[in-house]
Structure formats: structure tokens, C-alpha cells
Amino acid sequence: MVDATLVLPDDRLLAFEGCLTFREYCELQEERNRLLWMRYAETRLEPSLQLKLNAYEEPLNILAVVTDEDPDTVAVLPIIARMVDASPRLQLRVLPESCDLTPLVALLPGVDALNAVEEWVLPQFLVFDEEWELQAQWGPRPSQAERNLSEWLNRYPEYETLADDETPVAQRRYAALTTALTYEMRVWYNSSLATACQQEFCDMLLAIVQSEESDEEQFV
């Protein structure tokens, strides 16, 4: 029997399919499982976007690199999963940063993927075409959400410093604030941010098609 760890770096399809489906990821999240599926169920696709997604012709493979505890993961990942499920040409896999990142190394040859993950603000969504060329990267949230987050951080300026404080008191406070932010984000995305997220991500997908069409016209 061939050792999968020896095959993985040379086979991008295997690397991608070795990552978690959205359902598999949710099942591993324990108490966050309910929140993730709640956000998925609450996501209503705009009719015009749903039509575009259903008619999208380019096969694309989307890898979500996520941090389990981050409120953005709970807020944004289910929206992208819902959009992917509306298109027969899109596939989504999830790779938590806490897991083995070998699939990411295989999918991004020539890139120091491990250091890249440390520098990214997660979640990040990497979009590959059928030839496994990276076509786009999007994340961690729609630009319209930045104002909401900035206002929240201004109310709780200690939040970001608590993340690096390993003392029990600081970690309890950080966990409480993370929970509060997670539920507040749910309110944001149930108002206008879900639509903004859908539109921004869909615009990115359409830009990929337009870019490929432009490239083809140059060779006609």
C-alpha cells in the first residue's frame, strides 16, 4: 500500500480532497458546530447572485484556511459554504491552521506556505482553477465589516492584547470577549453584511472569468 504522505506533495487533487468538507469541519467543532450550522441556515442568497452562481461555468476549487476560535470563521465560512452549494462548478474544502498543513504546501509549490499562514489574517479563501493554479485569495471578511469590527475593538481595546496573554485570568477574559464578538457578528451578518459578503465574493469569482476571457481574446 502506498504511503499517502509520500503521494500528497505531488498530487494537488489528493491534497485538496484530503482536507475537510464543511460538514466534516463542523462536526469537529463541538459547541461551535451549532453556531456554524445556524449561520449556514440563516444565510439567504440574493436571487441575482444565486442565478449567477448556478450559471457559473468555470470549475473552481476553494480552500478555506481557518482558525477555529476566530469569530470571523463562524461568521464568514458558512456564507461561503452556502454560496458554493449553490453552484455545481464550485468545491470547498476547509483546512484549520491547527492541523497538518501539508496539503497547503502541496497546493502552493514554491511558496513558504507555513510562514504565509502565520502572516495571514484568517480565514483566507484560496481559489484554484482546474489546473490547480491559484487564481485569487480573499479574506478574512468583507470590507464593509471593517467599520463594525473597528467600532467593537474601540469598545474593547484590551481584546487584541489579551490574545497574547497566557495567564488564566487573561485567557478567561479573552474567551468571554470572543464569545461576545461571535454573537455580535451574527447580528451584523443577519442585517446587511451577509449580502455584502456574498456580493464581494461573487464579484471576485466573476473577475476570474473575465480575466480568463480577456486572456483567450489575446490569442484569437
Q: Give residue 47's pLDDT.
A: 85
Which residues are within 8 A (CB) of 21 and not within 5 positions of it... i.e. 6 or more apart? 92, 93, 94
Q: In what order do the strands lie in the sheet with 60-66?
A: 90-96, 60-66, 124-128, 134-138
pLDDT at residue 4 in the model: 42
Residue with cell 467599520: 147
- For the stretch 140-166, pLDDT in tens is 999 999 999 999 999 999 998 988 888
For the segment 103-124, the average pLDDT, to the nearest whole number, is 90
Of the candidates 63, 55, 96, the residue with the CA atom closest to the CA atom of residue 81:
63
Spell out the domain ranges in the chain. 4-218
Dihedral over alpha carbons 65, 69, 73, 74 (to 10 degrees)? 150
Judge contact between 16 and 63, C-beta under 8 A: yes
Does residue 216 surpass a pLDDT of 80? no
Question: What's the residue count for the chain?
Answer: 220
Rounded mean pLDDT, 127-141: 94
CA angle, 162 then 168 then 184, to 5°? 45
Band the pLDDT of 214: cuts 50, 70, 90.
Answer: low
**Residue reference for cell 463562524:** 74
Q: What pLDDT is recorded for position 220?
A: 44
**What's the whole-number mean pLDDT along residues 109-132?**
91
CA distance 112 to 190: 37
pLDDT of residue 7: 43
Q: Over 90: is that where the pLDDT of 128 sits? A: yes
Angle 37-26-152 (CA atoms, 0-180°, nearest 5)? 65
**If you classify domain 4-218 with CATH, what class do you get?**
alpha beta
Give the per-residue pLDDT at 2: 35
- Note the pLDDT tens digit of each residue in 36-84: 999 999 998 888 888 888 878 789 999 999 998 889 999 999 999 999 9
pLDDT score for 9: 42
Average pLDDT over residues 8-25: 86
pLDDT band of residue 198 (cuts 50, 70, 90) is very high
